[in-house]
Amino acid sequence: MASSIQLSHITSTPTTLPDYQMLKNAHFNFPPKTSKLETNSINSSSLKQICKQGNLKEAIQSLTNYLSHQNEAHLSSDEAYSSVLELCAEKKAVREGQQIHTHVIKSNGHGNSVFLKTKLVFLYGKCEAVFDAQKVFDEMPQRSIFSWNAMLGAYVSNGKPWEALELYRAMRVFGVNVDAFTFPCVLKACGLIKDIRLGTEIHGYAVKSGCDSNGFVVNALVSMYAKCEDTVGARQLFDRIQVKYDVVLWNSIISAYSASGKPMEALMLFREMEKAGVSMNSYTYVCALQACEEPFKRLGVEIHAAILKSNDRMHLYVANALLVMYARCGRMREAAQIFHKMTEKDSVSWNSLLSGFVQNGLYSEALNFFHETLAAGQRADQVSLISILGTSGRLKNLLNGMEAHAYAVKNGLDADIQVVNSLIDMYSKCCHIKFMECVFRSMVSRDVISWTTVIAGYAQNNYHAKALDVFREVQAKGVEIDAMMIGSVLLACTSLRWLNHVKETHGYILRKGLSDLVLNNTLVDAYGECNNIELASRMFNLIENKDVVSWTSMISAYVDNGLGDEALSLFCMMKEDGIEPDSVTLISMLSAAASLSALKKGKEVHGFLIKRGFLLEGSVVSSLVDMYARCGTLENSFKVFNLVKDKDKVLWTCMIHASGMHGRGKEATELFSRMEMENILPDHVTFLALLYACSHSGMIDEGKKYLDIMKDNYNLEPWPEHYACVVDLLGRANRLKEAYQFVKSMPMEPGAVVWCALLGACHVHSNKELGDIAAGKLLESEPGNPGNYVLVSNVFAATGRWDDVELVRERMKERGLKKNPACSWIEMRDKVHSFMARDKTHPQSDQIYEKLAEIIETVKREGNYTAQTKYVLHNVDEEEKTKMLYGHSEKLAIAYALLESPKGTPIRVTKNLRVCGDCHVFIKLVSDFFDREIIVRDTSRFHHFRHGSCSCGGFW
C-alpha cells in the first residue's frame, strides 16, 4: 500500500503531521475496487476477525473493500477504521497508520470523530511518534477520558514523564474525571522521575477517588514506591491485599525488590508465589531471574528447568533474561548455549552475551564474538561498542580499539558521549595518551565522567603533572567534582610524592563533604606512599567502619616504610576484628615477612592461603617465591615455582632474580633459556634480574652477552640500571679501567646508579684515582641521597683522608641528611629480635656478650682469627677499632642464635647494610667451628656460609 505523501518515523526529532488541507486534496493509491465476487468473499468474514488474526496486509485490503462497498458492510466506518488502527498500533506500522489517518481526514464526517482521534493518539504513542500523537490530541475539539489517557500513555511509554505529569495537572484543572486507567500512567511517570512526594499525593487522590482497590492501580502504586526506592511502602501496600491471585501484582513486588538490589527478598517472594499457587507468566520468570546473582545461581538453574518444563514457547525476553543470569553468575558456557539455541535474537541478545564475556574477563572471546556479530549482519550499537572498547583497553589491543573507533565514526556513533568516554578510557589503557587527548579535546560537550576518565588516564600513565593541570581546569570551569575524580588526583599526588598536595586535596575533600570509605582508604595509601606514616596511621584510626581495604592500606604503608613488625602486629589485630583478609592483604603480609626474613611468619601466610582456597597464581605465587627467596630458602622458592603450570613473565623474572640474589647465576641463566623456550617475551625487568645474577656470580662474559641480546634480539633500550649492573660486574672482577671506559661509552649521561656502582668497586679494590672521579660525579648527580655521602665518606676513610671525611660529613649536616645506623635482626621463637652495633638493650644482653666472647676466643684459637681493623672507618686507635668490630650487629645476632637455637639448625640473619669484610671472615670461621649453616642477607645479596666457605665466592 503506497501513498503519495509519506511521514518519517519519529526518532529523536519531532515529526509534525502534514497540513490537513493538503491531505484532503491529496491523491492516495488505495487498491482498485474489487469485483462483486471478491467483495462477497471478503464480507463473509468480519473485518474484526481478520484484524484479530494479525494479518495487516489482508486487514488493509478488507478495509479498502469495505470503503468501496460501504452500503453492504455490517460494520460502522468508525469501527472499521478503529480495528485496523489497533492492528497498526500492535504491529507498530506507523506508515500504514499515517495513510489511514489521511483517509480519515479526507472522508466526510470522520475527521473530527473523538473516537477515531483517540485511536490515532493511541496508535502514534505505540509507534513512538509522540509528537504526532500530541498534534492530534491538541487539535481535538472535544476529548473523552479515553483521549486523555491515551495521551498520558503516549508520554509515559516514550520516556516523557514530565510532560505526562503536566497533562495530568491540566486534567485536574479542567475538571476531567480521572479513572482507574489514569492513575497507572501518572504513577509510572512519578516512578520514572523518582518523585516520591508527588507519587504519595497521587496515591491519596486515588484513595479519595475510590480507585485504590483497583488491581491496575494497586500494581502501579507498588511499582511506583519501588522505583522511588521505597520498598517498605511497596511491601506495606502488597501485604494489605487479602487475596493475592493477580500475577501482575506479584510481578510488581518481585520486580521492585530485584530493581532495589534486594535479591534475597525478591526470591523469597517468588517462593511464596509458588506456594500460593498463583499462575506464573513469562514476566514472573524474568523478574525472578533478575534477582539470581552469584549466591542464588542454583535457584536460577531451577527456574530455567521450570521454564523448560512448562512447554510454553520461550519468549525472547525470557531467553535474554536467562542469558544475562548465567553470564552474571560466571557460567558463560551455559549463557552461550542459551544464545545459540535461540531461534529469534535481538540486539539485547547479542549485547548481553558480549557484555557477559567482558564482565567475566574473557576478553579474547569477547573480541571473537564481536567479529561474529558483525559477520552475522548485526549492526553494532552504542552498547556493543562500549563493551568492545572496554575489551580492547583491558587487552591493550590498540588496533582493535582503533577499528572500533573507526566503526563509531562511520556509523555516526561517535557523537554519543558514553561511546566517547569509552574511547578515552580505551586509549588510556592502551597507553596512547596522544590519541586520548585528541578524542577528549574534540568533544563538543563533556560530562563529569569525561573529565574523570581523562584525569585517571593521565595519572595511570605517569603523566601526573598533566592530571593535576586538568583538575585545575575542572575547578576553573565549575564542573561538579566527584569522589572518583579526587581518587585519581590523589594517585597523581602520591606518585609525585607531593605530600603538601595530598594534604591540600585532603582539605578539599573535607570542605566539600566528599569523604567516603574509598577516599579515606586512598588517603591512607597516599600518606603511606609519601613516607608520612604518622598521618597514614592517624587517617586509618579516624575510619569508623574499616573494611579489608582500610586494613590492607595501612599494612602496606607499614611495609613500604620498612616497618615490618608493625605490619605483622596490625595483621593480627585485623583478624581479631573479624575482617577476612583478601589476596592483596596476604601479598602485603608476604612482603612484610620477606622484609624481616621472618620465615615462620611467611610460612603461616602460605598455609593461610592454602587453607582459604586462594589460587596460587599471578601476584600471589610471585610473592611467595620472593618471600621464600628473601627469607633464605631458595629451595622452597623453586618448589613453589615448579608447582605452577602456566607461568607468566613476572613469575619467571621473580625466580631468575631469586637465583641471582643467592649467587646462583648458572641457574638464573638456565631459567632464562627455559623462559625463551616457552615463548615468554622478557622485558626490561627480566634482563635487570639476569644481569644482577651474572654480576653476583662473576659471570662477566655472560653479562655482556645478555646486554647485547637485550638490545639486538628484543629491541629493548637499556635503562641506567642495566648499565650499572655491567659496571658492577666488571668492578667486582677488579677490571676497573674497563668499567670506566664502559661508563664513558654509554649512549646516555651516566646517572647516580652507575657512578655508585663504580665507586663501590673502587672502594673494594682501593683505586683512589677512579674513586675520586666517581665520588665527585655521584654527589653531583644525586646530592640528596644520604647513602651516597656515606659511601664517599667510607672511600675517603679507607685511605686515611680524614679531612675529606669531615668535609663530607659537614655537607650531610648542612643538607639535614642522616646515616642509617647498622642493624641486624633474627627470628627466634615466633619473634623478631633486632640488634644495633654494640647494643646492650636486649633483655639477655649479658648472656649474649658472654657467648660472643666465647665465640671470638674459639675462632681466634682454632682459626687464627684476627680483627681486620682496616674495615673500621673511624679515626680512632687500633684497640678501639677492635672493640668496634667485636660489637657489630651481625656478630651479636649470631651470638644470640648460638645461645638460644638448637644445635645443627640453620641461623638466618638479616642486615640493613652491607656485611663488612671482617664480619665475612668471622662468620665463615663460626660456620666451620660451630658446625652451623649461617645465612646472612645484606643489602647486596645472600651469603650462605657452610663449613668455612661462602656461596658468594668473593663477589659481594
Closest CA to 116 of 82, 142, 140: 82
Percent of the chain at pLDDT > 70 equals: 94
185-189, 419-423, 685-689, 763-767: least confident range? 763-767
Q: What is the pLDDT of residue 79?
A: 78
Task: Please report, for residues 387, 535, 796, the alpha-carbon distance to residue 809 in angstroms, rounded to integers and kept in the order given.
Answer: 60, 31, 11
**Which range, of 71-80, 106-115, 308-317, 693-702, averages the lowest pLDDT?**
71-80
Which tens digits make up the pLDDT trace of 924-939?
A: 999 999 999 999 999 8
10 vs 845, higher pLDDT = 845
Residue 951: how many other CB atoms lie within 10 Å: 18
Q: Which pLDDT tens digit goes with each residue over 862-882? A: 999 999 998 888 888 889 999
Task: Give residue 925's Cα distance to chain centre.
Answer: 54
Range 723-738 average pLDDT: 93
- Arithmetic mean of pLDDT, 198-204: 93
Q: Is the pLDDT of residue 33 over 80?
A: no
Q: At residue 17, does pLDDT exceed 60? A: no
- Count CB atoms within 10 A of the CB of residue 424: 27
Q: Where are the alpha helices (DSSP H) in 411-516?
A: 417-429, 433-441, 448-460, 464-477, 483-495, 499-512
Q: Is 907 helix (H, G, I), strand (E, B) or coil?
A: strand
pTM of the predicted model as reported, rounded to 2 decimal places: 0.70
Euclidean distance between CA atoms 558 and 57, whole angstroms: 77
pLDDT higher at 724 or 16: 724
Q: Which three cell numbers stand for residue 202?
A: 497521587
Residue of higher predicted confidence among 549 and 954: 549
User: What is the arithmetic mean of pLDDT over 580-585?
Assistant: 94
pLDDT band at residue 856 using 50, 70 and 90 as cut-offs: very high
Tell me the three cell numbers of residue 57: 496486509
Query: pLDDT value at position 110?
Result: 53
**544 to each of 257, 514, 540, 929, how far by Cα in Å?**
29, 16, 9, 57
The grid coordinates listed for 98 are: 499515517
Which has more pLDDT, 240 or 334? 334
* Cell (9 digits) for 262: 534486594
Which among 574, 580, 656, 654 has a CA at the least distance from the CA of 619?
654
- Percent of the chain surpassing pLDDT 90: 64
pLDDT tier at 23, thresholds 50, 70, 90: very low
The rounded distance, in Å, linking the Cα atoms of 863 and 948 is 10
For residue 911, what is the DSSP state?
A: E
Average pLDDT value for residue range 572-584: 93
Reading the block at residue 296, the C-alpha cell is 542464588
Q: What is the pLDDT of residue 24?
A: 35
List, for residues 878-888, the tens digit of each pLDDT value: 899 999 999 99
Main-chain phi, psi angles of 117, to 5 degrees: -65, -35
Integer CA distances (angstroms), 822 to 175, 818, 838, 880, in order: 92, 12, 10, 18
Residue 390's nearest CA partner among 422, 417, 368, 421 is 422
Cell of 924: 665463615
127-180 pLDDT, tens digit per residue, is 999 999 999 999 998 999 999 999 999 999 999 999 999 999 999 999 999 999
Over residues 507-532, the pLDDT tens digits come to 999 998 999 999 999 999 999 999 99
Contact criterion met (CB below 8 Å) for 668 and 674: no
Segment 473-508, tens digit of pLDDT: 999 999 989 899 999 999 999 999 999 999 999 999
pLDDT averaged over every residue in the chain: 88
878: which 3 cell numbers? 687500633
Answer yes or no: is pLDDT of 36 > 80. no
In 3D space, the residue among 884, 907, 886, 906 whose CA is nearest the CA of residue 896 turns out to be 907
Residue 603 has pLDDT above 70, yes or no: yes
Residue 949 above 60 pLDDT?
A: yes
Across 114-118, 451-455, 922-926, least confident range: 114-118
466-474: which pairs have CB atoms within 8 A and are 24 or more residues apart?
Answer: 467/491, 467/492, 468/492, 468/493, 468/501
- pLDDT over threshold 50, residue 88: yes
> What pLDDT shows up at residue 874?
85
pLDDT for the residue 778: 93
Is a pLDDT exceeding 70 seen at residue 45?
Answer: no
Backbone Cα Rg of the chain:
40
Please answer whether residues 320 and 353 qualify as being in contact, where contact means their C-beta atoms are separated by less than 8 angstroms: no
- pLDDT-based confidence at residue 6 (cuts at 50, 70, 90): very low
Res. 954 pLDDT band, cuts 50 70 90: confident
Q: Are 573 and 591 in contact (CB under 8 A)?
A: no
Query: Max alpha carbon distance in the chain (Å)?
Result: 135
Lowest mean pLDDT among 15-24, 649-658, 710-719, 930-939: 15-24
- For residues 69-88, average pLDDT: 71
Whole-angstrom Cα distance, residue 197 to residue 542? Answer: 37
H helices present in 107-214, as ranges: 114-126, 130-138, 145-157, 161-173, 182-193, 196-209
CA pair distance 46, 44, nearest whole angstrom: 7
Top pLDDT among 739 and 305 is at: 739
- Name, of 3-7, 146-150, 258-262, the range with top average pLDDT: 146-150
Eight-class DSSP state of 444: S
What is the rounded average pLDDT of the residues 561-587? 93
**Residue 823 pLDDT level (bands cut at 50, 70, 90):** very high
pLDDT value, residue 22: 35
Interatomic CA distance for residues 725 and 695, integer angstroms: 6
Give the model's pLDDT for residue 76: 66
